[in-house]
Amino acid sequence: MTESNKVTPDHLNRTAFVYVRQSTTTQVEHHRESTARQYALVDKACALGWPRDQVSIIDEDLGLSGASVTARTGFARMTAEVGLARVGIILGLEVSRLARNNADWYQLLDLCAMTNTLIGDADGIYHPAQFNDRLVLGLKGTMSEAELHILRARLDGGIRNKAARGELRRGLPVGLVWGEQDGEVLLHPDEAVTGAIRAVFERFEEFGSARRVWLWFRSEGLDFPLQAIRLPDIQWVAPTYHAIHSVLTSPVYAGAYAYGKTRHERYIDEHGQVRKRVRKLPQSEWSVLIRDHHQGYIDWATYEANQTRLSRNTRPKPHQGGGAVREGSALLQGLATCGHCGRRLRTHYRGRNHTPGYHCAGKNIVEGRGVYCLNIGGVQIDKAVTDAFIEALKPAGVKAALAAAEQLEANHDAALEQWCLALERARYEAQRAERRYRAVEPENRLVARGLEAEWEQRLRELEQAEAELKRRQTERPKTLSADERTAVLAFGDDLQRVWCAPTTTSRDQKELLRTLLEEVIITVFRDDKRAHLTLRWRGGLLTERDVNLPHSRPATVRTDEDTIELVRRLAAHYPDTVIAGILNRQGRTTATGLRFTANLVGNLRRHWKIPRFETPAESPEGELVNVRQAAKLLDIAPSTLHRWLNDGFVAGEQITPGAPWQIRITDELRNRFVEQAPDGYVTMQEATKLLGVSRQTVLQRVKNGELDAVHVYRGRRKGLRINVIDDQSDLFNPSS
């Protein structure tokens, strides 16, 4: 069957589609001959019998790959038109222009076969409903998909082969630049950039936390270099936590060449759409890792130590110790483990003094109740571990004291060095702006005015940098004299005084413990009233100690006096059920640690001879109701009534914190809620302008009775209205 016989009048009555596509924007820009050949298919459609006004060009997918239908709106629209039997023929330069994968290709073939749609390319016209034509189209689609695979494999093989030699040039982080030779990586020639990167590693060695390094940069007011792909010059901006963390986690700064640290994956989301994501791989799965590839800011051993320290700062997994140091006086947070089940112990604090303690998350069933596997106070345990730590640290006490005395000077010198480099950079920028201004012709005022403004801005920045450097030089900490150094060294012998000094915080003590200790295993023997500690030091050395536990409380159990007194006050106003709810909301428990119930409250009340609640025979003026009932009576929302309770506009009664609010409904209170504001009453915004005070001051004066106020609860302009007419005489009175 010839091409002219395949084209029937039914086909000519439909639209002819010319599909135009190039894989990348580079091909669209530079390979214009292929694009022109695809647009020329319009003439072929006209030669086959279609009028020019019935030929539609689909070029929405220019610059998109044909490997998937995702984001190819033109192909999707064409497929929809084919399914509606509105297309007579689809013309493409070759099959690869239409699709590069068989899933999309065979779907189009099936639709064309069912709707009697032709497909044409540079070789001829095909009817997908005919076996021979469909066989040829199928072979062409398979070859197109195979061609894409071969091209990708060839390019990917070359990239991986070059990366295996460490010569593949990819984007380098700030502080490193490519050299002229293959695979050569050099430190940035700008001394200010390298100084900022070195400061990150030096401060991390001191602080041990990426966040504290970031806070140090912010507290010192230092900028951090930013190197973007599209910006040729280094930009100095305020440091971010992500920038500091990226410097600490990048292996390139350790002199290593790494490739294949991530993997691109495809998955189907909850809506059935195919998505792509990038997954970070562990170091063992990296494609290429060449150590000592170039000069770095740190060595590989320091890099691995930094990664271990950063991993310990995150929340540990179950049955693992460590974790970031947090606030609280429990010194073994993240280090203590249970000697019975091996779980990591959790910390808790009790009482008004926040006494620390440790407990195990595992529970055992004892007499039908869940009991912690281990629950012990932390005072004696922390003291025993502290004594062992100080005893082990005594030989290095003098060196530690000397390092502490010099640390303040070192921190100041590091920040001062960065500010000196910032001043030098500002001076260079000012000189360059001056040279650019003097190089322009004076008559060209359009350019000269802009360069003059830039020069003035650089001069202001230079002046600010000089003033800041001068201020920081005057704040330089005093250098220790020989006598003061001798005194500090003598003080270093007494580590106990340093440990207990008010300036040594709990966070500092935890950091010190982690420098030597890896784990503290606690085993409690209740019958012997002792705890056995196993201290595992870094390096594998074990130390064992026994700690005597305090005796248990007396057998006589008694409810707290505060709870008894509170029950005595509440019993005059509420029944036992309400009292139990109030006590539970305040976190109170019985003498045995149980939650209060109506029966337990009744037993406590009868034991201490507290009378039960009785409804009074004569009620005072006004009905006493709760917030929900009062809101219904006043025809307002409960949230509004709560707000007026907090602002003092409505008076409420509450026996104790946690007890329900009660409001006495009187005629005076009802008169405060009206449908229309009386004459002379203005809105809150107008009242603040008339009185010349803030909103809080107006509310306080309403609460004190100095101003009259009503609440309009109907209409579009609902809200508070203030009477300021009587207060106009006091506008200029300083006491008002």
| Residues 136 and 127 sit within 8 Å (Cβ to Cβ) | no
Give just the sign of the alpha carbon dihedral 101, 103, 105, 106. positive
pLDDT in tens, 149-189: 888 888 888 888 888 888 888 888 888 988 888 888 989 88
Query: Is the CB of residue 60 less than 8 Å from the CB of residue 74?
Result: yes
- Mapped onto helix, strand or coil, the DSSP state of residue 508 is helix
What pLDDT is attached to residue 434? 78
Q: What does the pLDDT look like over 268-316, one tens digit per residue?
A: 888 877 788 888 898 888 989 999 899 999 999 999 989 888 887 776 5
pLDDT at 251 over 90: yes
Q: How far apart are CA 118 and CA 440, in angstroms?
A: 66
40 or 439: which leads in pLDDT: 40
* d(C-alpha 63, C-alpha 78), whole Å: 17
Q: Residues 373-408: pLDDT tens digits?
A: 888 888 888 888 888 888 777 655 445 544 544 554
Dig out the tokens for 607 from the structure.
């034991």
Average pLDDT estimate for 228-237: 77
For residue range 642-673, what is the model confidence (pLDDT) as tens digits? 777 776 667 677 666 666 777 777 777 777 77
CB 722 within 8 A of CB 677: no
Give the per-residue pLDDT at 733.
Answer: 46
Q: What is the pLDDT of residue 158?
A: 85
- What is d(CA 418, CA 435) in angstroms, rounded to the nearest whole number? 26
Predicted confidence (pLDDT) at residue 2 exceeds the cutoff of 70: no
Please give the Cα distance from 631 to 665 (Å, whole number): 10
Q: How confident is the model at residue 551 (pLDDT cuts 50, 70, 90)?
A: low
Residue 729 pLDDT class (50, 70, 90 cuts): very low
What pairs with residue 19 in β-bridges?
Answer: 58
Q: Cβ(328)–Cβ(345) under 8 Å?
A: no
Residue recorded with tokens 């016989």 = 5
Q: 366 pLDDT exceeds 60?
A: no
**Burial degree of 253 (CB within 10 A; 0-12, 13-18, 19+):** buried
Q: Is residue 50 pLDDT above 60, yes or no?
A: yes
Distance CA(462)–CA(469), nearest Å, equals 11
Q: Which fold has domain 176-268+278-312?
A: Hect, E3 ligase catalytic domain fold (3.90.1750)
The gap from C-alpha 172 to its chain's centroid, in whole angstroms, comes to: 25
Q: What is the rounded CA–CA span in Å between residue 170 and residue 577? A: 72
CATH code for the part of the protein at 3-161: 3.40.50.1390
Is the model's pLDDT at 317 over the cut of 50?
Answer: yes
Q: Give the number of other CB atoms < 10 A from CB of residue 208.
A: 18
Q: Indicate if 219 belongs to the active site.
A: no
pTM for the full model? 0.48
At 96 the pLDDT is: 77
Dist. CA 82–CA 436, nearest whole Å: 63
More reliable by pLDDT, 102 or 15: 15
Predicted local distance difference test score (pLDDT) of residue 543: 85
pLDDT at 318 over 90: no
Which of the residues 4, 23, 311, 735 is marked catalytic? 23
Report the alpha-carbon angle 618-624-628, nearest 5. Answer: 155
